Structure 1
Amino acid sequence: MRIRGRRTKSIFVKFSVSFLLVGLIPLLALSFFSVKTFSGYVERYTTSNLQQMVLYMSYNLNSAFNQYNEVSKLMYTGRYEGFIESYSQNQTQNVNVLEQINSIPIDSFLKTVLFSDPYISGVQFIRSSDGKIYYQERGNRSLNSETVPDEEWLAKMAEDPSKVAIFPAHMDSYFYGSGRQVFTIGRSLIDTSGRVTKEPKVVGTLFLDIDTSLFQQFFRELSLGEKDELYLLDGEGRTYFSNQPASAGLLTPKLRENDEMIVLSEKVPFLNGQVIAKVHRGSLFEQLLSARATVYLAIMICALVMIVMGAWFSRRLAAPIRELIKQMAVVESGKLDIQLTVNSNDEMGRLAHGFNRMVERLRIYIDEAYVAQIKQKQTELSALKSQIRPHYLYNTLEVIRMNAVDKEAGEVADMILALSNELKYVIDYGEERVSIASELAHLQNYFYIISVRYENRFELKLDIAPNINMEWPILKLSLQPIVENAVQHGLRQQGKGTVGITIERRDQVLAVTIYDDGIGMNRDNLARINSILDNAEAPSKNVGLKNVHERIRSSFGEEFGLSVSSREYIGTSITLTFPVINE
C-alpha cells in the first residue's frame, strides 16, 4: 500500500495522466469537430449541387415544351391571339374541302411535323366538321380510332381553344403494336379569315405524341436511386410525369422534407407548375456515412495507441530516474566512489553519464580546493597591480609638468596637463556612455595639443543650442576620431582652417555635426564612404568613421549612427545622431 501510494504521487504518473489528457481531449474534440464540419460542408455542397441540377433540368424541360409549342404553331398562316400574319387563307375550306393545311395536304403536313423532331412518335389531326382522324406514326403502325381518347382531349381543348393543352403521360396503345409511354400536346386550328367572331371557329385539332424518353435524358443527369422520387406537376398539382408507376394524371400530395428525404423543387413556367425531386438521404450520403464511420474508428485506434504508448513511456522513463534518485541519496551521505551503469545513448543515458562525471569532478574539486584558493589570491594581487600602473603614469606626468612650471615653460606644462587628462579619459575603463560635457572637455584637450603642434593654424568652434542638456549621454570617444579625420584629411593639406561642432536637438534625436572648410571630397569618394558605412561587412581604410558608426548603432540602435556629406574644395560635414536620454 505504501509503494502504491508513493507511485500515485510520482511525477511520472502525473505526467502520464496529463500527457493522455492533453493528447486525447484535443484529439477527440478536434476530430469530432472536423468530422462534423466536413460532413456539414459535404451535405450542403451536395444539396446545393443537386438543387442546381434540378434548376438546370427545369430550364431544359421548359425549353422543350416551348419548342413543341412552336412546332404546333406551324398550322397557322393568319392572325389570331397574337400570331403574326403572313397571308390569309380560308382554313375551313382548306381542311373541309381541300383536305389541306397551309396549302399542303394534311397527311404531308403531319409527316413534316412528325419528322421535325426525333421524340415526336405520332401525330393526329381531328377534323371538327365530321371527326375524321388524320394520323402519321413513326413506325407506320395503324391507328385504332376507337381507343383514341379524342372526346376527353377535345373536351379539355374546348375550354380555351386558343391555348395549347398538355396531357399527362400515358401509353399510346391506340397505335397497334405500340407500347410507348408518351405525353400529348394539343393545339386547335382556328380559322382567322373573315370576320372575327366571339367564339373561335375551330376547324380541327392537332395532337403531338412526345415520347417520355425525352424526360429520361434530363432525369438521368440527377443519378436518382431506387428510393428517390421525381414528379413533374402542373399548377393544380396533377402529375404529368413521374418515375413512380401509376401516378400520371393524379393529384400528388404535398411533399415535405423530413429526416429521411430531401425535397428539391424548381418552377416550370410553361406548365405553370414545377419539377420536384425527393431524394433519399441515406442513399445520397452513403459514402459520407461510410467515411465518417472510418474516421471514428481511426480516432478510437489512435486513442488506444496513445494510452498504450503513454503507459509504456511512463514506465521506461521512471525506472532509470528512480535509480538515479537512489544513487544521489548515497552521494549525499558522503560516499563518492559510486558509478551508474549507462545502458543507452538517449537522454537518460547522457543523464547517467553526466551524473558519473559530476561525482568524479566533485571528488577532484575537493582535492583541489586549496589550489583554487591560492589562485584566487594571485588574481586579486594582479588586479591591484593593474590599478597601480595607470596611477604611477599619472603621477610621473604630474612631476614632469610641475618641473616645466618651475622652469617657466608654461606651454609645455599645459600640453602635459592636456595629455594627462587625455590619458585619464582614455584609460578609464568605466561606462561606454559619457556626458556631452565630458566628451567636449576631452576633445578640447586633444585639439589644444593639435593646435600647438601645428602652430595654431587650426581653430575649433563650438555652437551648442540653448535647449541642450550637457549631462545627456553620448558614446565615449565618438567625436575625437571625427575631428582627427577633419584635421588630417581636410585641413592639413591646405595649411589652415576651422573645425566647427554644432549640437542641436531634433525631437527625440540629438544631432552632433562636425564640419570643416577643408579640401572636401569628390562624388565618387563620398559614394564609396557612404556605401562602406551602409554595409557592415565591407572592408574600409576609414577605420575611425566606420568604427564610430558601428559603435553608435550597436549601443543605441540601427536608426542612429553617422552620415557624411561633402563638396570638393568647399568642405566636409559629418553628422552623428544619438537618442535623447534624460535619465
Structure 2
Amino acid sequence: MFVLIWGRRSKSIFVKFSASFLLVGLIPLLALSFFSVKTFSGYVERYTTSNLQQMVLYMSYNLNTAFNQYNETSKLMYTGRYEGFIESYTQNQATNVNEREQINTIPIDSFLKTLLFSDPYITGVQFVRQSDGKIYSQEKENRSLSGEPVPIPAWLAKMEENPSKVEIFPTHIDNYFFQSQRQVFTIGRSLIDTSGRVAKEPKVVGTLFLDIDTALFQQFFRELNLGEKDELYLLDGEGRIYFSNQKETSGIIAQPDKQNNEMIILSEDIPFLQGKLIAKIHRGSLFEQLLSARTTVYIAILICAFVMIIMGVWFSRRLAAPIRELIKQMTVVESGKLDIQVSVNTNDEMGRLAHGFNRMVERLQVYIDEAYVAQIKQKQTELNALKSQIRPHYLYNTLEVIRMNAVDKEAGEVADMILALSNQLKYVIDYGEDRVSLGSELEHLQNYFYIISVRFENRYELHLDIAADIQMDWPILKLSLQPIVENAVQHGLRLKGKGKVGITVERRGNVLAVTVYDDGIGMSREELARITQSLNDAEAPSKNVGLKNVHERIRSSFGEAYGLSVSSREHIGTSITLLFPISE
C-alpha cells in the first residue's frame, strides 16, 4: 500500500517541484554552514593551542628563574667566594662550623633563620654538620623535628656523587617536623672548605637543605586554569617527576607519551633542571564551549533545514490540494452522486476550474432529473404502498381480535398466550435503539417464559432475584437475556424433564452483573472449554450461535471489558454471567 501511494505521489508535478525547491535550497545551505563551522572551529583550536604554548613557555621561564634564585640563596654560605663577593672573614669554614658553630661569622641557627625568612616559600631549613652528623634545623612555625625519620642519609648519599653541585629532591611531605603535612621539594648544597689548597676530593664541612613549599608551583600553574582531566608534570633530565598535579607521582620515572588524540601535549625545557615542563590538556574539556557552540550551530542548521522542508511540503500541498479535491469530487460524480459542489475560494486558474466543474455537475443533474426522476418516484410510491400493507400495527390488531375471540369463548389460557405473543412481537419488531432498560428486558423475558411454560405443561419455573440497590431503568442490550434463557431450556432442562431457571441481578462496583442459571444436566469440561475458546476467539466457529452472538454484541456496544462468561458442572447445572456498564 505504501509503495503504491508513493509511486502515485512521485508522478505528481507538485512533488517534483517541491523536491527541486528543497534540493536547490538545502544543499547550498548545508554545505556553506558545515564549511563555515569547520573553518571557524579549526581557527579557534589553533589560536587556543598557540596561547597555551605561550603560557607554558612563560611558566617554564618563571620556574627556571625561581630555581636559580634558590640556588643563589644556597650560595650565601660561600660569601666572598662566588659572584664577586668580598671575603669578610679569613677563618676557614671547617673551623667556623666545627668549633664555633658559625657560618660566615654568624651562629648557624641565626644563619638558618635568616635564610628561612628571606623567602615566603621557604618553610624549613636544615644544616647537617659533616664531622659528627649533628642536625641544625629551623622551621617557620618554630616546630621541632618529630620522631619521623628524616631522609637525610639518602640525600647525603645522592650529594656525595657531586659535592659541588646543587641537588633538587622531588616533592615530598615534611612530616619530619612535628605535626606538619606540607608538600615541599628540597634543595641541597654542600658547604666545602675553600680556605686551603684545592684538593682532588673537596672537603665537605656540612650540607644545607632548603624545604620549598610547592605553593610556589601553584602560583604559576594557576595561570593555566587546569581542569580535572588535565595533567601537568615537572621533570628532571632523567625523566623523574619533581612535581605534578596528579597524586602520588613525585619521584616516579615518567613514561613516554603515547599517541592520544584526546590530549594536547605541550612541552618546554627547564635549563636549570635540564628537564622539561609538560602540560597535557584534555581536548574535550578545553574545547567544551566550542563543541557546545558548534552543536548549537548544527542544531540551528537542522532547524532551518526542517523549516525549509515543512515550507516546501506546505507549499506543495497548498498548490496540490485544490486539484486533489477536484479529482476526489470527480470520482464521487462517477459513482452517481451529483449533489456536490466544490468550494471556490480564489479567483485564479484553480478557482475558475472549480467553478466550471460545478456548472458541469449542475447541468448534468438537471438532465438526469428530466429523464429519470419521474420514473424513480413512481417506483418509490409503489414500494411504499407495498410496505404499508404489512405495517406492524396490522399484525397487532389481528392478534388482539384473536385474543378477544378466545376470551369470548372462555379460553383464558389461549388468550393469555396470544397477549404474551403480541407483547413479544411488539418488543422485537419495534424499531428503536439497541439498548433498553433492565425492566423492559425482564418484562419481555417473562412474556417469553410464560409461552414456554404453557408449551411444556408448566414443567419449568422462572425465578427472579433482584438486589435492592438495582435500578430498573439502567440500560442493557436489547434481546440479550432471551437467547440465554432459551439455551437453558433447550440444552439444560429438556433432557432432564423438568427444572427451574433462575436470574439474579446484582451490582459489582460500576458493573451490572446478570446471572442466568439452571439446574439442568450441565456440560463436560471439554464442552465448557470449547465454548469458552469460541467466545474468546472471534474467528473460531461455534455451534452455540446464540451465546456467541450475545457476547459479541455486548463487547461491540460497551467495550472489551464486558460480555458473558460460562461456568458449568456436569449433572449439576450451568451458569452464565452477563456484564454491563452501569450508566446512572
Shorter-chain TM-score bucket reads 0.5 to 0.7
- 2:51 alignment partner in structure 1: 49
Match of 1:209 among 197, 211, 235: 211
Match of 1:156 among 147, 155, 158: 158
User: What secondary structure is seen at the aligned counterpart in 1 of 2:251?
Assistant: coil
- 2:40 alignment partner in structure 1: 38
CA deviations on 1:521-554 (whole Å, 9 max, x unpaired) are xxxxxxxxxxxxxxxxxxxxxxxxxxxxxxxxxx
The offset of 1:289, in angstroms, is 2.2
1:55 partner amino acid: L
- 1:298 alignment partner in structure 2: 300
User: What secondary structure is seen at the aligned counterpart in 2 of 1:196?
Assistant: coil
Structure-2 change in CA distance of 1:145 and 1:166 (3 Å): farther
Match of 2:22 among 15, 20, 23: 20
Partner Cα separation in structure 1 for residue 207 and residue 273 of structure 2? 20
Map 1:74-153; keep pairs closer than 5 Å: 74-79=76-81, 84-87=85-88, 89=90, 90-144=92-146, 147-153=149-155
Structure-2 change in CA distance of 1:198 and 1:309 (3 Å): same
1:92 partner amino acid: A
Partner Cα separation in structure 2 for residue 311 and residue 111 of structure 1? 85
Structure-2 change in CA distance of 1:169 and 1:315 (3 Å): same
- 2:271 alignment partner in structure 1: 269
CA deviations on 1:306-352 (whole Å, 9 max, x unpaired) are 011122234445789999xxxxxxxxxxxxxxxxx9959xxx79x99
1:311 partner amino acid: V
| TM-score, length of structure 1 as denominator length | 0.52
User: What secondary structure is seen at the aligned counterpart in 1 of 2:249?
Assistant: coil
Runs of at least 5 residues in structure 1 that lack an aligned partner in the other structure:
324-340, 354-583
CA contact (8 A) 1:183 1:209 kept: yes
CA contact (8 A) 1:92 1:203 kept: yes
User: What secondary structure is seen at the aligned counterpart in 1 of 2:272?
Assistant: helix
CA contact (8 A) 2:89 2:104 kept: no
CA contact (8 A) 1:16 1:310 kept: yes
Structure-2 change in CA distance of 1:7 and 1:215 (3 Å): closer
**1:284 and 2:286 correspond:** yes
Map 1:565-580; keep pairs closer than 5 Å: none
Structure-2 change in CA distance of 1:284 and 1:4 (3 Å): closer
Partner Cα separation in structure 2 for residue 92 and residue 4 of structure 1? 104
Runs of at least 5 residues in structure 2 that lack an aligned partner in the other structure:
326-343, 353-584
CA contact (8 A) 2:127 2:206 kept: yes
User: What secondary structure is seen at the aligned counterpart in 2 of 1:40?
Assistant: helix
Number of aligned residues = 332
CA contact (8 A) 1:256 1:263 kept: no
CA deviations on 1:72-127 (whole Å, 9 max, x unpaired) are 111112436x7655446311111111211111111111111100110000001111
CA deviations on 1:123-153 (whole Å, 9 max, x unpaired) are 0111111111111100100114771111111
Structure-2 change in CA distance of 1:343 and 1:86 (3 Å): farther
User: What secondary structure is seen at the aligned counterpart in 2 of 1:240?
Assistant: strand
CA deviations on 1:187-231 (whole Å, 9 max, x unpaired) are 111122132212212111111000111111112222222222211
CA contact (8 A) 2:89 2:105 kept: no
- 1:29 alignment partner in structure 2: 31
Match of 1:172 among 162, 171, 174: 174
Map 1:245-264; keep pairs closer than 5 Å: 245-264=247-266
In percent, how many aligned pairs have the same letter? Answer: 76
Partner Cα separation in structure 2 for residue 261 and residue 156 of structure 1? 35
- 1:193 alignment partner in structure 2: 195
CA contact (8 A) 2:188 2:207 kept: yes
CA contact (8 A) 1:163 1:187 kept: yes
User: What secondary structure is seen at the aligned counterpart in 1 of 2:172?
Assistant: strand
Structure-2 change in CA distance of 1:15 and 1:118 (3 Å): same
Map 1:550-569; keep pairs closer than 5 Å: none
Partner Cα separation in structure 1 for residue 52 and residue 28 of structure 2? 35
Please give the root-mean-square deviation of Cα atoms over the aligned residues, in Å.
3.2
User: What secondary structure is seen at the aligned counterpart in 2 of 1:253?
Assistant: coil
The offset of 1:260, in angstroms, is 2.0
The offset of 1:248, in angstroms, is 0.8
User: What secondary structure is seen at the aligned counterpart in 2 of 1:270?
Assistant: coil
Partner Cα separation in structure 2 for residue 4 and residue 249 of structure 1? 72
Partner Cα separation in structure 2 for residue 222 and residue 229 of structure 1? 11
Structure-2 change in CA distance of 1:321 and 1:203 (3 Å): same
Partner Cα separation in structure 1 for residue 197 and residue 15 of structure 2? 106
The offset of 1:39, in angstroms, is 2.0
Partner Cα separation in structure 2 for residue 154 and residue 74 of structure 1? 20
The offset of 1:22, in angstroms, is 1.1
Partner Cα separation in structure 2 for residue 8 and residue 286 of structure 1? 44
User: What secondary structure is seen at the aligned counterpart in 2 of 1:159?
Assistant: coil
Partner Cα separation in structure 2 for residue 79 and residue 223 of structure 1? 43
CA contact (8 A) 1:88 1:193 kept: no
- 2:313 alignment partner in structure 1: 311
Structure-2 change in CA distance of 1:159 and 1:83 (3 Å): farther
CA deviations on 1:291-318 (whole Å, 9 max, x unpaired) are 2222222222211110111222344457
User: What secondary structure is seen at the aligned counterpart in 1 of 2:258?
Assistant: coil
Structure-2 change in CA distance of 1:131 and 1:317 (3 Å): same
Partner Cα separation in structure 1 for residue 52 and residue 118 of structure 2? 33
Structure-2 change in CA distance of 1:318 and 1:247 (3 Å): same
Partner Cα separation in structure 2 for residue 145 and residue 270 of structure 1? 34
Partner Cα separation in structure 2 for residue 142 and residue 321 of structure 1? 100
The offset of 1:71, in angstroms, is 0.7
- 1:454 alignment partner in structure 2: none
CA contact (8 A) 1:240 1:249 kept: yes
CA contact (8 A) 1:78 1:193 kept: no
Structure-2 change in CA distance of 1:145 and 1:202 (3 Å): farther
Partner Cα separation in structure 1 for residue 9 and residue 78 of structure 2? 101
Partner Cα separation in structure 2 for residue 169 and residue 305 of structure 1? 60
- 1:504 alignment partner in structure 2: none
1:187 partner amino acid: R
Structure-2 change in CA distance of 1:321 and 1:84 (3 Å): farther
Structure-2 change in CA distance of 1:6 and 1:78 (3 Å): closer
2:273 partner amino acid: L
Partner Cα separation in structure 1 for residue 108 and residue 65 of structure 2? 27
